[in-house]
Amino acid sequence: MTPSPTSGPTAPPPDGFRIITPTELRRRWRAGEEVALLDVREEGPYSLSHPFFAVSLPLSQIELRILDLVPRLNVAVVVYDDGEGYAARAVPRIHALGYTDVAMLAGGLPGYARHGEVFRDVNVPSKAFGELVEAIRHTPSLSADEAKALIERESNLVVLDARRFEEYRTMSIPRGVSVPGGELAFRAREVAPSPDTTIIVNCAGRTRSIIGTQSLINAGLPNKIYALRNGTIGWTLAGHQVQRGKTARVLERPRTSYATALADAKAWAERVGVGVLDAATFARHQAEAGVRTLYCLDVRTPEEHAAGHPTGFASAPGGQLVQATDEWVGVRGARLVLFDDDGVRARMTASWLKQMGWDVAVVGPDVVGATETEIRAARRPPLPQLGDAAISAEQLAADPAAWTIVDLTRSPSYKAGHIPGAHFVLASRFADDLAKLPGDGPIVLTSNDGSEAAFALADARAATTRELRVLTGGTRAWTAAGHVLESDRSSWISLADDVYKRPYEGTDNAAEAMQAYIDWELQLVAQLANDSVSNFHVV
């Protein structure tokens, strides 16, 4: 069992707070009962150590994200920290939003680590599942050197990059074409119409290469299909050059190959046990959403979703949904309904989620029409009334030196550009860090659109006696008013551990970090077996 890196004594929960034991939590997971386990630390500490199904929701982000992440107000919600006191602060905030079944995890992270495995990194269930798929299905793969040699000598070959288009555009391997993972079974036959064409599927690390390659095999393609072992990380570590700024992608809907793709997707989904909902069953699912958590997800491309989608369905491209399920779904044991308009993508995505232990089914345009074009904003509670605490961009710009500006946005955004002179502070650390600000004059809180700053005002008032204001509309309002941002000077009051730097994204990763990431993935199957709560079953 991997110990928590900061495991130490954890204070008992405050009087009147409900608790749930790690043993009971793990029983619920094994039984498939609904429960949301929320880690209310920042993402950096979360990435170092957390239970298998824990979802990262930092204290300062609760009001911004929880209503979509945990849509049923009477579902069981469990929060924990590593002794910092965040969980005790989170419980009343979650209660205030209308949630009725909120508890703290007994003993916090150290307490859990005495009963179950704790895991590093993010999106762990998806990555562990990918490693299990390779171990059981013996998914074929090529090393970076083998793939490079094949790419250079074989003309009848295609390289399909299974990542998001934005990642592909940042860096790719030679001959790579962007076909995100959820699109592979739908489009691969159009890209490689001949069964004699060799197909290499790559991602940045391992998971999407494995799942993408196995998707094509499961979908019945007769080609030679290989995963690029360890993705662009392995490619880079082998000393090979990546390409940057490529834009080759496959967006046209399949024509000649569509009937075959649909027939094979139907056969595979039926074999795995994926259900297809009729109108009456889908309506019943919707009616039961008050007692059974329901997520409705459109697994097509973001562009297709924007052009028209069924009411109530969020955009969750299929490959990313399998890769990072916890970014959309916060309740383990919930019910998922996936939509596409072709019958292939939803079935193939659902086939993986079914094997990952989710109660998942698909629905098509015969049941729900893709008629809505408005992209729904994240669900949030009404902003607190600011009254005299509000300050406009014009008022701030009139005399910026009179104010100490505190920026609460995520650290990458702050680094990219902030109001001149603004200090980076995490709202969760107001108690310690507001006292570190220079001067003793009034403070202005800002954030990306002002929402996080408005929700943080009460905590700030509890942490300082200085006058406090909130910038109406946040930093967006500042730039909309024509004022500039600065990025060359920064003031980091809080430790910038709010966002975990993925060692497989970007082009400036240290070799040691990339190798450590690959080594970590390779041991996930053993750790998964030792933990025994996943309910995974690879068909």
Summarize pLDDT for 46-105 with one digit per residue, the tens.
999 999 999 999 999 999 999 999 999 999 999 999 999 999 999 999 999 999 999 999
> Domain 19-121, what fold?
Oxidized Rhodanese; domain 1 (3.40.250)
Mean pLDDT of 290-300: 98
Q: What integer pLDDT is reported at residue 9 of this predicted model?
A: 44
**Whether the Cβ atoms of residue 429 and residue 40 lie closer than 8 Å to each other:** no
Inform me whether the pLDDT recorded for 469 exceeds 70. yes
Confidence of residue 8 (pLDDT cuts 50, 70, 90): very low
Rounded to the nearest 5 degrees, what angle is found at the Cα of 46, between the Cα atoms of 42 and 48?
130
* Class for the domain spanning 128-252: alpha beta
What's the CA gap between 223 and 220, in Å, rounded?
A: 9
Q: Among residues of the chain, what percentage have pLDDT more than 70? A: 97
Mean pLDDT of 298-316: 97
Q: What integer pLDDT is reported at residue 4 of this predicted model?
A: 40
Structure tokens at 160: 């399909």
What's the CA gap between 461 and 65, in Å, rounded?
A: 23
Contact residues for 315 (Cβ-Cβ < 8 A; gap 6+): 297, 298, 302, 305, 306, 309, 375
**Whether the Cβ atoms of residue 160 and residue 197 lie closer than 8 Å to each other:** no
Confidence of residue 5 (pLDDT cuts 50, 70, 90): very low
Closest CA to 423 of 442, 406, 435: 406
Confidence of residue 509 (pLDDT cuts 50, 70, 90): confident
Place of tokens 């997707």: 265
Is this prediction's pTM over 0.75?
A: yes
Mean pLDDT of 280-303: 98
Q: What integer pLDDT is reported at residue 508 of this predicted model?
A: 73
Place of tokens 């730097």: 501
Mean pLDDT of 42-49: 97
DSSP 490: -
Q: What integer pLDDT is reported at residue 503 of this predicted model?
A: 80
Structure tokens at 294: 């329901």
| CA dist list (Å): 418 to 43, 51, 392, 425, 460 | 21, 35, 16, 12, 20
Mean pLDDT of 441-468: 97
Inform me whether the pLDDT recorded for 360 exceeds 90. yes
pLDDT 10s digits, 255-273: 999 999 999 999 999 999 9
Q: What integer pLDDT is reported at residue 480 of this predicted model?
A: 98
Closest CA to 95 of 53, 66, 58, 54: 66
Q: What integer pLDDT is reported at residue 14 of this predicted model?
A: 65
Question: Domain limits of the chain?
Answer: 19-121, 128-252, 266-363, 388-492
Mean pLDDT of 232-237: 96
Alpha helices by DSSP H, listed for 205-278, are: 207-218, 231-237, 258-272
Contact residues for 218 (Cβ-Cβ < 8 A; gap 6+): 185, 268, 348, 351
**Whether the Cβ atoms of residue 376 and residue 383 lie closer than 8 Å to each other:** no
Of the two residues 307 and 7, the one the predictor is more confident about is 307
Confidence of residue 336 (pLDDT cuts 50, 70, 90): very high
Place of tokens 């130490």: 8
Q: What φ, ψ does residue 141 adopt, rounded to 5°? A: -150, 165
Task: Classify domain 266-363 at the CATH superfamily level.
Answer: Rhodanese-like domain (3.40.250.10)
- 266-363 and 388-492 agree in CATH topology: yes
Place of tokens 């941002």: 485
pLDDT 10s digits, 187-227: 999 999 999 999 999 999 999 999 999 999 999 999 999 99
The arrangement of strands across the sheet holding 359-363 comes to 275-276, 359-363, 335-339, 294-298, 314-315
What's the CA gap between 51 and 119, in Å, rounded?
A: 6
What's the CA gap between 304 and 252, in Å, rounded?
A: 11
Q: What integer pLDDT is reported at residue 12 of this predicted model?
A: 55
* Strand 55-56 versus strand 275-276 pairing type: unpaired
Q: What integer pLDDT is reported at residue 505 of this predicted model?
A: 74
Rounded to the nearest 5 degrees, what angle is found at the Cα of 354, between the Cα atoms of 353 and 358?
75
pLDDT 10s digits, 128-180: 999 999 999 999 999 999 999 999 999 999 999 999 999 999 999 999 999 99
Contact residues for 418 (Cβ-Cβ < 8 A; gap 6+): 407, 409, 424, 475, 485, 486, 487, 490
What CATH code would you report for 388-492?
3.40.250.10
What's the CA gap between 361 and 346, in Å, rounded?
A: 9
Residue 489, CB-side half-sphere exposure with 13 Å CA sphere: 7
Confidence of residue 17 (pLDDT cuts 50, 70, 90): confident
What's the CA gap between 336 and 353, in Å, rounded?
A: 9
